[in-house]
Amino acid sequence: KHPETLTWKTEYHKTKDDAKVAKAKYDYIEMCLKTGSLDWKRVYYGYETKTVQECFDFYQEQVLDDKLNRLTEARYHTSMHSFLKVFPGETRVAEIRAMKRKIYGREKTGIAIWKASFPDHSRRTINSNIRDCRRIFEYCRLEDFIKDEVIRKNDKYANDALPALDKKVWKQQELYMLDNHPGISEFDREVIQIYYMTGCRAKELVGFNYLNRDKELYWHHVDFSDNTIMVLRKRGKVRTEVVACDEVMAILKKWQDRGDERPLNFGYDIILDVIARVNLATGIKFTCHDLRRLNGQLVRPELGLQGAATSLGNSSLEVVDKHYAGMTREEKLEATNAMLITRRAWLEAGDA
């Protein structure tokens, strides 16, 4: 009889001894149920025998198969593959934390074996893999598929063990060059301006995103009468409003009037091409994410860290927006105006 559903099933065994072992197992389970012991789960579900591959397959079937974003699923598969390189699929998860191996001459235990096995990977990459695999094993544990906590929070590299982030700090002269350098074409300059003036992530504005069609931006997402663009933020489920400045809306209106099918009538690959050309023309080394940083660095002198976060739609403010008090249109407009004030000052200083 199933200890939870109380339904009966018939089991057949090849030998009398196998039948005796099975009966002893169910007798023990029945005793546990009578005494209130949860040890019956260990015996019934076979926690000690669950393997890494069984856990990954369980998570795939229960969670990943329902994911709409193929990139998210691919990221999990990358983390799984990394784990399987060190702990093969047939490894019993209950044995991982006690395992010991010598890695490059040093004895490591448990998850430290995994971390030490990839000296060529950045610690931030390893932390991302640990985060993903921990989520998998914790799901299995909470669903009573396994018993043990395979990966713990403190298995990740602590902040003081991580290298400093290499964040670009923009200079006033660089902004002046982005807006005025003669070697930048009109199209490239307008793409650059749209991104640093809105502070949006690259794929939040593109018109073509074959891996996540829901993110694609269409003209009906742009309201010229209200200076707003509705974008789907990172990990967002619904589109949120971005208040854009007049310069951005003027560029989009020009593109609409010339008959472009979508506001940014291209995909991420074109953005990379634009940035490569601007890098070459100006000698400034930057990425699309650095344009997002430029937005924050323009807003912060006027409105502080909170204002910069508002302009970027930062995740910490999303928590405030969802659980406490939503950001008003006036706050978003204030952030946009602050960006323009600092931009004007930088351009004047760059021209000096």
pLDDT at 320: 36
What are phi and psi for residue 201, nearest 5 degrees?
A: -70, 160
DSSP result, 6-27: --------SSHHHHHHHHHHHH
Q: What is the dihedral of CA 80, 81, 87, 91, to 10 degrees?
A: 70
- The two beta strands, 222-223 and 100-103, are unpaired
CA distance 326 to 47: 45
Spatial CA neighbour of 237 closest among 346, 153, 318: 318
Q: Apex CA 20: angle with CA 7 and CA 145, to 5°? A: 50
pLDDT at 324: 36
pTM above 0.75, yes or no: no
CA distance 142 to 148: 10
Residue type at position 318 = E
Q: Which two structure tokens, joined as six digits, stand for 104? A: 């490059």
Q: Apex CA 347: angle with CA 346 and CA 351, to 5°? A: 115
pLDDT at 47: 54
Which residues, including other chains, have CB under 8 Å from residue 267's CB and lie 6 or more apart? 206, 207, 208, 209, 210
CB atoms within 10 A of CB 66: 8
What are phi and psi for residue 246, nearest 5 degrees?
A: -60, -35
CB atoms within 10 A of CB 238: 7
CA distance 231 to 203: 10
Query: Per DSSP, what are the bridge partners of residue 106?
Result: 103
Q: Apex CA 306: angle with CA 224 and CA 334, to 5°? A: 35
pLDDT tens track of the chain, all 352 residues? 676 667 777 878 788 887 887 788 778 778 888 888 877 666 666 656 789 999 999 999 999 998 877 788 999 999 999 999 999 999 989 889 999 999 999 999 999 999 999 999 999 999 999 999 999 999 999 998 888 899 999 999 998 898 877 788 899 999 999 999 999 999 999 999 999 999 999 999 999 998 888 899 999 999 999 999 999 988 788 999 999 999 999 999 999 999 999 999 999 999 999 999 999 999 999 999 899 989 988 888 888 777 777 777 765 655 434 433 455 677 788 888 989 999 999 999 887 6
- Helix pair angle (329-351, 288-312), 10° resolution: 140
